[in-house]
Amino acid sequence: TVHLKMSDPDFFPAVIATYILGGDFNSYLNMNLREEHGWTYGANAIIGAGKYVTKLKSASAVRNAVTDSAVVEFIKEIKKIRTEKVSEEVLNNVKAGYIGRFVMQVQKPQAVARYALNIETEGLPENFYENYIKTINAVTAEDVQRAANKYFMLDNTRIVIAGKGSEVIPGLERLKIPIFYFDKYGNPAEKPVVK
């Protein structure tokens, strides 16, 4: 869970950090799991923001046989964005894409209505959307790294895996991370007997 509000100074750095991690085709997660390893059609990350507790979620669908390897690579990419400054080229490309999407949305009446509602419900300054592009462009590589360290908390992460136990459990056990088991309804369960 994260406590990120649109009115927080960290809002745009956290959103940009999330896009770099898993927000578009060229994101760290997608380039690793899809392009480098060929394990998936796509890997992504999203972060919620609002009045209430929200979450950072990253996800992908991979074959059972590479589940443990995919977990390792997810963790690697989250560590990377926390410890290495993003390149100016990647940062500028992500900001340009984010601004482009905003410009396309702002022409739609429903988007304008949503923005007006956000100003009221999220306690935003009146000029929040007038300054949107300027605020995004002001995000630095240092801002991204700071936000990643604040919101991408590896020590408070839950890794949820659904797969055939006999194929995924042995590899996951080799990772030496705590493993808890649940039935298909989400109730705690004993480790399944692998046949």
Average pLDDT over residues 51-65: 88
What percent of the chain has a predicted confidence (pLDDT) above 90? 85
For residue 42, is pLDDT > 90? yes
Q: Which residues of 96-115 are buried (b: 16+ CB within 10 A; e: fewer)?
A: eebeeeeeeeeeeeeeeeeb
Residue 107 within a domain: yes
Residue 188 within a domain: no
Q: What is 168-179 written as a DSSP string?
A: HHHHHHHTT---
Residue 187 within a domain: no
Residue 105 within a domain: yes
Domain extent at residue 150: 11-160
- Three-state secondary structure of 64-105: HHHHHHHHHHHHHHHHHHHHCCCCHHHHHHHHHHHHHHHHHH
Residue 141 within a domain: yes
Residues in the chain: 195
For residue 170, is pLDDT > 70? yes
Q: Let me know: does 181 contact 188? Beta carbons within 8 Å.
A: yes
Average pLDDT over residues 186-191: 94
Average pLDDT over residues 54-79: 94
Residue 186 within a domain: no
pLDDT score of 55: 86
For residue 39, is pLDDT > 80? yes
Q: What value does the mean pLDDT of the chain take? A: 93
pLDDT score of 192: 87
The CB-side HSE value for 57 (13 A sphere, CA atoms) comes to 8
pLDDT single digits (tens) 97-152: 999 999 999 989 999 999 999 999 999 999 999 999 999 999 999 999 999 999 99
Average pLDDT over residues 150-157: 90
Q: Work out the pLDDT band at 2, boundaries 50, 70, 90.
A: confident
Q: What's the CATH number where 67 sits?
A: 3.30.830.10
How many C-beta atoms lie closer than 10 Å to residue 17's C-beta?
A: 30
Residue 44 within a domain: yes
Average pLDDT over residues 8-37: 95
Q: How many domains does the chain have?
A: 1
pLDDT score of 195: 67
Residue 191 within a domain: no
pLDDT score of 54: 80
DSSP annotation of 54 = B
Structure tokens at 191: 């480790």
